[in-house]
Amino acid sequence: MDISSASVPTPPAYREPLPRGVIIAATPLGNIYDASPRLLAALAQADIIAAEDTRRTRSLAAALGVEIRGKVISNFDHNESARVEDLIAAARAYSVLVVTDAGMPSVSDPGFPLVQAAHEAGVPVTCLPGPSAVPTALALSGLPVGRFCFDGFAPRKAGARRSWLESMRSEERAVCFFESPHRIAATLAEAAEILGSSRQAAVCRELTKTFEEIKRGSLGELAEWAAGGVKGEISVVIAGADGTAESSLEDIVERALERVEAGERVKTVTKDLAKEYKVSKNELYDAVIARRG
């Protein structure tokens, strides 16, 4: 679809000047027509726009037919802390609009340091609601998400990632997180090993874009699917534990103790059973040692 000539006029209701202070605004995840009328008006009226990528913000405004009149400055992960003092000073007298490349600022995106500092300094802070990958992925997952937690990006290092996944074993809320296409296969494989291959999940890829895809299934099935390679921006939703993890682990511990009493080494037994039942080797070992003690 050609959007280069798109022109969406600012509704009269939003022609009033923006208030002074910090204004965080959600931008489209992919489809620019998810931009709200309030975002269009803010882009046109803001005195200062703090953008994660100034070029992408200008391109978005141009595609929406909005002329930016204010000053546009960069505000991304590596410079936002240095920007805070100057932006807070400006926000005392002017409107400072904070936008990222896609979605809601401060939700695993730049914006949090400025919002926190504004509250502490008594500078007004408001939000123009809109697109966010988190509720979009939750809604599309087809999983029970009445209670959920969001964990940002999955840990990059293998050790930290395994510990993080192990913390989900008894988490009864659905868990949503972001992952890189380069690490999604490894993360899903480890999730299947640690949480159990039958635990349900959904991988939401390229949300609102042309090649949007929602892949649902068990962690085992998703790990096998991802092994072939996955591209794009990815959000993952893993269903909460069903409350049987502890009793299941207890059953495995009982079996382990029977083999240990028969003369086998604890490390050998826990390694074998952890692989067989798709549970954490370290957690099973600690549980067996605790019972023996």
**Segment 224-258, tens digit of pLDDT:** 999 999 999 999 999 999 865 544 677 788 888 98
Q: Let me know how many helices (H) and strands (E) the chain has, helices first.
A: 11, 10
Which pair of structure tokens corresponds to residue 190?
């480890």
- Average pLDDT for 125-148: 97
- Average pLDDT for 178-197: 95
Which pair of structure tokens corresponds to residue 250?
């207890």
**Could you tell me if 191 and 165 are in contact, meaning their C-beta atoms sit under 8 angstroms apart?**
yes
Closest CA to 236 of 219, 260, 250, 249: 219
Which pair of structure tokens corresponds to residue 95?
């409107």
Cα separation, 269 vs 256, in Å, equals: 6
The reported pLDDT for the residue numbered 4 is: 42
| pLDDT over 90 percentage in the chain | 77
For 62-107, the pLDDT digits (tens) are: 999 999 999 999 999 999 999 999 999 999 999 999 999 999 999 9
Residues 6 or more apart whose CB falls under 8 angstroms from that of 12 comprise none
The reported pLDDT for the residue numbered 1 is: 35
- Average pLDDT for 49-55: 98
The reported pLDDT for the residue numbered 247 is: 46
**Could you tell me if 22 and 124 are in contact, meaning their C-beta atoms sit under 8 angstroms apart?**
yes
Write out the H or E segment, with its range, that includes residue 218. strand 213-218
The reported pLDDT for the residue numbered 277 is: 76
Cα separation, 275 vs 269, in Å, equals: 10
pTM of the predicted structure, to 2 decimals:
0.78
Q: At what angle do helices 112-121 and 80-91 cross, to 10 degrees?
A: 40
Task: Look over the chain and give the mean of its residue pLDDT values, rounded to a whole number.
Answer: 91
- DSSP-derived secondary structure for 57-125: HHHHHHHTT----SEEEE--TTTHHHHHHHHHHHHTTSEEEEE-SSB-TTSSSTTHHHHHHHHHHT--E
**Could you tell me if 191 and 219 are in contact, meaning their C-beta atoms sit under 8 angstroms apart?**
yes
Residue 148 has pLDDT above 70, yes or no: yes
**Could you tell me if 71 and 49 are in contact, meaning their C-beta atoms sit under 8 angstroms apart?**
yes
Residue 10 has pLDDT above 70, yes or no: no
Strand order, beta sheet including 213-218: 148-153, 174-179, 234-238, 200-205, 213-218
The reported pLDDT for the residue numbered 15 is: 63
